[in-house]
Structure 1
Amino acid sequence: MDWLQILVLSLIQGLTEFLPVSSSAHLILVPVLTDWPDQGLAFDVALHVGSLTAVVLYFRDELLRMIGSWCRSVTGKGTDEDARLAWWVIIATIPVGIAGLLLQDFLETAARSPLIMVFGLIFFGVVLGIADWRCRGKRSEYRMTWKDALWIGCAQALALIPGTSRSGITMTMALLLGLSREASARFSFLLSIPVIVLAGGLEGVELANTGVDVDWGNLALGALLSAISAYLCIHYFLAFIKRIGMQPFVVYRVLLGLALLWLFA
């Protein structure tokens, strides 16, 4: 891999992991627009490590409070808002884990169709636009209930369909349930942590079983660039949606979907 491929793939991973625009749709464009070789599983794992590092660092204070309060709650020492938020993240993660196990064969074959990806981009993009326009409320992530978490978790399972966008669909459901824009995004980002751990862990196990040699320098650079771009993305996205909202991302999704349709139809 040359430095340009490392830079482009790292930025795509770091930005699209958290923006509501679908990372899978962007990654499918890379081999179409370039003649680069496949980056390999090891590099994918490194990019996931970078994204995970960014979101953990950004929410480090909240995570420390959540973990401490959650540990106290399971030992019977009381439950506060931080413990509840930790439980809601756990509950919201369960549906995507079950769906991934049950639909693995389908997701590896039929769901990889470019037309399905186009549908996911455009349809769920429009739904995001409607939710942001009509349904956003004022509740924070600390005012969620377990039912809210379960609904958001079920919505997250839809992100297994390429083009849907994990962050996009979870923010959409949160908005529909009456959370504010910032709360919807913050909970989506917190929810990404166990999902990235699960996805990266599975890739890591698969990589270990292959026994291939890796270029540790490229992996370290990719992880670093992914982490930096993801951290900046989270920071500026939260400020951006507070002032402007989701509509620019809706327009972008529709245009990207139409571009993919033109390329693959």
Structure 2
Amino acid sequence: GLSLGAACGPPCPGLPALRLDPKVSRSVLPLSAIFIGMVTSNNLCLKHVGVAFYNVGRSLTTVFNVLLSYLLLKQTTSLYALLACGVIIGGFWLGVDQEGAEGTLSWPGVFFGILASLCVSLNAIYTKKVLPVVDGSIWRLTFYNNVNACVLFLPLMMLLGEFRTLYHFDKLGNPSFWGVMTLGGVFGFAIGYVTGLQIKFTSPLTHNVSGTAKACAQTVLAVIYFEETKSFLWWTSNLMVLGGSFAYTWVKGLEMRKVQEDPNVKSSERNETGV
């Protein structure tokens, strides 16, 4: 679709002509595998928990950022940033406790939420790493990532018996269902493209922080839409997650500014601070 649009449509500097290069596709494959894990764990998390709890269930992305930065990049984290991560973890466990008190806790949902947090963090880091392979083009990265994902999802669906479920699905011929699915696909593509742009021009950290802000708005809208009543401690858990996330951002922002203002710091260290 993107190739056809680039070839037949009016000239557009942001939409290059696309062709499938197996070598590039293999280079993007690790990102595609992480992308599949992210999409799958996100959906499974939402299957087992309410939309309102989704923010808390998915709140450990920043914590995984710190762990992965140490394990993959051998980067250490300052004490203040670690304290902010401690607040996030405290908010996560308080949210889990309050869901249990309300009788709505789902441990599979919590597990998939943690897994989704890990995949989101890995996705942001690997997007930054893979961009040079596609010459920094978000269109090309989106194209290769989606093609790879379509192929990789097939054996996963076969392994989990999803083809039989799909065959017996009673709304397969329902136009309304396909309308909603198409709309969801358009929004999903748009989110993926904008996410890539944000990571390209800022950093994985900035992307994860804006994702936290999005989750906050999502939580409030979900509570209003479903007319739910939540306890004071439940809201406190959300505020702890958000407060810890923004405190971490503030600390890292100060550290990045200090590094950029120091002429003795190497350029590689400047880039690492933004992870």
TM bin (shorter chain): 0.3 to 0.5
The structure showing larger relative contact order (alpha-carbon pairs under 8 Å, at least 6 residues apart) is: 1
- Which protein has the larger Cα radius of gyration, Structure 1 or Structure 2? 2
TM, length-normalised to structure 1: 0.38
Q: TM-score, normalised by structure 2?
A: 0.37
